[in-house]
Each structure stands twice: as structure tokens, then as C-alpha cells.
């Protein structure tokens, strides 16, 4: 198991990330802008993660295949992109359910990553045929680049990793770095190890509040220089797992690399969020009609934080059905939020985005 010793450099990098995290989380983006950025970010992550593995599709092709009909037949490179995107969506749902890191979650993600692959590619790897070495081979020379632990040791190593995540008091970013390294190094599956490692590492960041509202792609930074990425994971150690990779003598090589990529990632997200925030008013308002704008202006001018349609209809002198229709439009675009009571909408409240930008919105309205 990789062991981390905190140094001044590690702490300084974490503090820099924390500062940017605060700035990002203090921003309130309209729902449409937020959803658009999240979808773009997932597409970037799917493309970048596949690129690391040598997927030949261009970024444009990757984005296009994600949008295609799921019932279509896809070539393997196309399916890889779609599978990663599907896994990201699945993990989004698990975050909403506050699902903890577990072996079952790891297995489910690898299953999604290898969707439509042959059955032997899914789940933990087993014994190889006599005389066959399970290894990662150099694509040119054919020599083994990495020889993972024996299959019989994999369950114990995964249990050790899960226990670490569930009991450690390490900083969440360091936990994510450890999960990434350990899953790549344990290599528990015949295929999909790198993609599963990146997805589960990202899940740890999301789980502990370092997903930065789902904006941006950490995979994009790993993909800028795959050789550097793999070199950081390998740390110059021998090919055989049992010759030092189970407890690397210089884990700071990987940790420093991971933190450096995190810094680049969070800086880009911060810049992107600020840019989107400054454009948010015009973009968000462009999606609502003049009647909905008029209703929003009345709500803000009267400092109404919560409204009931029937009461609002009396104020604006419009029938209740029309008010509900206009409130629905405001909800769809992130200005209001419906409150459900026994499966029915009873009231509407002003969204956090609207509250945070009340003055600017009134100036535009």
C-alpha cells in the first residue's frame, strides 16, 4: 500500500487547491449554464480518458458518438467513449445517494466501462492458462512492461484499499491519489483498469466535495502527456509488482504529479466558472419570455422569497393557471425552485442563483 508523508510542498499545493475551491463554490450558476458545463465536462473526460488508452477517435468524433442513438451498433473505440460517459452519469447518481466507496461500486464501474465486452473481461480476473503470464505488454517490443500481483492476492488488496478509504483521516485529495494509484497497480481486471481507476478517483473527489460542481475535466490534464502520466504511476520501479510497487519507496513522485494536475484543473475550473458567472445573466434571461421576466421582476421587487401561485395571481391580476405556467418557465431556467408536498407543488421559492444576483438581475429586468 502506498504510504504518504506530508511535506511542505504537498501542504502548499493542497492549500492552493483549497483556496480555488472556496472561490468556485461561492459562485452560483443558473441551472441551464451549470448543466451545460457539466455535460461538456463529461464529454471532455470521456474523450481524454479514452485518449490515454490510445483510442483513435478525435475530440469531435468522441462528442458526436456520445449523442448518438444508444441502439446503434458501435465500433469498439466508439463504445469505449460511450461507456465512460455512461459510468460518469452513473456515479453522479451515486453521489446524490451518498453512496460510499466500496468493492461493489468498483465492480459496477468496471462492468459499465466494459459494457458489451466478452463476459471474461468483466469482474475480477482469474487464473491464467498454464504457461501464460498476465502482464501489460509493450505494444512495440512485446516485452512485459508491468506484471501485476497474482490474481489470488487481488481480493485482499482491494479489501485493504476499501478499508483505507473508509478509515483514513488523510486529506480527500490524497485519498483520491491513493485510490488512483492502487487500482492501476493492483490491476484487478483483465481490462478497464486505468479507466476504472480514473473514475473511482474522481468519485472520491466528488464524494468529499472536490468535484467543483462537476465542471472541468481532470482526465484532460492526465491526457496532455500520457507518457508523463504513466511515468509518474510507475515511479521508475521494476516491472514486477512484488519488486517494490506494492509499497513504493518514493510515493511523492506520484503524489506531486497528481497534485500538480489538480492545481491546473482547479485553476481552469475557477477561470471557467468566473467567465460563465459573468455571462450568466444574459444567457439565463435569454431562455425566458417577456411575461416570465415581468413576473420575476415583480417577485424580486417585492422581496418575495417564497410564493404561492394563488396569492401571486391576486397581486399580478392574472389567473392562477397562467401564473403557474410562468413560474414553471422560471423553474426550468433556474430562477425559481418548486417545493413539493405529497407529490404536488404547493409553493415556489427563489433559487440561490437568483438570491445571489438579485441586484444585477433587477438592473437587467
On whether the CB atoms of residues 53 and 195 are closer than 8 A, the answer is yes
Q: Between 3.30.450.40, 3.40.50.2300, 1.10.10.10, 1.20.1250.20, what CATH number should domain 288-364 receive?
A: 1.10.10.10
Q: Give SS3 for 245.
A: coil
Tell me the average pLDDT of the chain.
89
Q: What is the pLDDT of residues 48-69, one digit of tens each?
A: 999 999 999 999 999 999 999 8
Residue range(s) of every CATH 1.10.3290.10 domain in the chain:
8-279
120 pLDDT above the threshold of 90: no
What pLDDT is stored for residue 276 in this prediction?
58
Tell me the mean pLDDT in the region 3-7.
89
Q: Give the domain 8-279 fold.
A: Fic-like fold (1.10.3290)
Residue range(s) of every CATH 1.10.10.10 domain in the chain:
288-364
Q: What is the pLDDT of residues 279-334, one digit of tens each?
A: 555 666 777 888 999 999 999 998 898 988 888 888 888 898 899 999 988 888 88
Beta bridge partners of 347: 339
Q: What is the pLDDT of residues 9-40, one digit of tens each?
A: 999 999 999 988 887 776 666 666 777 788 88
117 pLDDT above the threshold of 90: no
> Which are the contacts of 245, defined by CB distance < 8 A and separation ≥ 6?
185, 235, 237, 238
pLDDT tier for residue 233 given thresholds of 50, 70 and 90: very high
Cα dihedral across residues 80, 85, 86, 92: positive or negative: positive
> Which are the contacts of 334, defined by CB distance < 8 A and separation ≥ 6?
30, 31, 32, 33, 34, 284, 351, 353, 354
Burial bucket for residue 88 (CB in 10 Å: 0-12, 13-18, 19+): buried
What pLDDT is stored for residue 286 in this prediction?
73
Cell 449554464 belongs to residue: 33
Amino acid at each position: 500500500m502506498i504510504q504518504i508523508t506530508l511535506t511542505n510542498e504537498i501542504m502548499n499545493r493542497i492549500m492552493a487547491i483549497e483556496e480555488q475551491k472556496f472561490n468556485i463554490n461561492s459562485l452560483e450558476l443558473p441551472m441551464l449554464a451549470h448543466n451545460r458545463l457539466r455535460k461538456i465536462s463529461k464529454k471532455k473526460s470521456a474523450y481524454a480518458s479514452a485518449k490515454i488508452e490510445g483510442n483513435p477517435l478525435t475530440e469531435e468524433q468522441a462528442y458526436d458518438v456520445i449523442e448518438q442513438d444508444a441502439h446503434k451498433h458501435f465500433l469498439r473505440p466508439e463504445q469505449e467513449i460511450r461507456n465512460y460517459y455512461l459510468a460518469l452519469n452513473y456515479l453522479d447518481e451515486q453521489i446524490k445517494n451518498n453512496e460510499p466507496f466500496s468493492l461493489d461500486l468498483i465492480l459496477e464501474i468496471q462492468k459499465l466501462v466494459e459494457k458489451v465486452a466478452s463476459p471474461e473481461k468483466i469482474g475480477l480476473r482469474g487464473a491464467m492458462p498454464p504457461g501464460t503470464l498476465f502482464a501489460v505488454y509493450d505494444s512495440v517490443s512485446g516485452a512485459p512492461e508491468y506484471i501485476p500481483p497474482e490474481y489470488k492476492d487481488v481480493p485482499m488488496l482491494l479489501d485493504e484499499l476499501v478499508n483505507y478509504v473508509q478509515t483514513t483521516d488523510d486529506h480527500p485529495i490524497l485519498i483520491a491519489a491513493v485510490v488512483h494509484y492502487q487500482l492501476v497497480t493492483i490491476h484487478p481486471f483483465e481490462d478497464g483498469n486505468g479507466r476504472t481507476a480514473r473514475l473511482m478517483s474522481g468519485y472520491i473527489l466528488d464524494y468529499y466535495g472536490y468535484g467543483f460542481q462537476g465542471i472541468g475535466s481532470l482526465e484532460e490534464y492526465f491526457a496532455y502527456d500520457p507518457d508523463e502520466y504513466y511515468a509518474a504511476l510507475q515511479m521508475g520501479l521494476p516491472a514486477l509488482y512484488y519488486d517494490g510497487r506494492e509499497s513504493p519507496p518514493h510515493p511523492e513522485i506520484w503524489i506531486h504529479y497528481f497534485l500538480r494536475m489538480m492545481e491546473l484543473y482547479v485553476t481552469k475550473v475557477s477561470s471557467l466558472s468566473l467567465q460563465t458567472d459573468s455571462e450568466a445573466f444574459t444567457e439565463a434571461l435569454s431562455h425566458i419570455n417577456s411575461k416570465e421576466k415581468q413576473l420575476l421582476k415583480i417577485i424580486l421587487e417585492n422581496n418575495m422569497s417564497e410564493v404561492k401561485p394563488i396569492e401571486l395571481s391576486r397581486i399580478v391580476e392574472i389567473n392562477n393557471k397562467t401564473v403557474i405556467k410562468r413560474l414553471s418557465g422560471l423553474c426550468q431556467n433556474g430562477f425559481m425552485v418548486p417545493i413539493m408536498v405529497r407529490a404536488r407543488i404547493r409553493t415556489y421559492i427563489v433559487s440561490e442563483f437568483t438570491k445571489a444576483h438579485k441586484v444585477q438581475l433587477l438592473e437587467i429586468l
